[in-house]
Amino acid sequence: MTTIIYGINNCDSVQKAKRWLVENQIDFSFHDFRKDGLEHKLVLRWVGKIQWDLLLNRRGTTWRGIDQKIKNDIDGATIVNFLCDHPTVIKRPVLEHGDLLLVGFNEIDYMQLFK
């Protein structure tokens, strides 16, 4: 089963997740939003698997820099385009393992997924 970590390389949470996977000898590939971009169909797939608001990092500097009217207008119809336009507002890392999706790094969640 394929495991992919999505995020940005200099993110502490992404680095923790990658380190955990390496330490536990789990093969994965890494997709950097900044270098590799973010496709509409990928984000659409994520939104089909989890509640879209779980993907938003409302504590980051990118979120704080976005105009309040734009933030107020985000909904299920606009979220995919919004995330593709502002990929660094996505809570990181996003781990895709087969049909499962985990957002953010939590060691217990990773242990349960890969037990």
* Catalytic annotation present for 84: no
For residues 15 and 5, give the distance between their C-alpha atoms in angstroms, rounded to a whole number. 10
Q: Which of 59, 60, 3, 7 is nearest to 26 (CA)?
A: 3
Unique residue bearing structure tokens 């105009």? 67
Catalytic residue among 5, 11, 83, 90: 11
- Active-site amino acid positions: 11
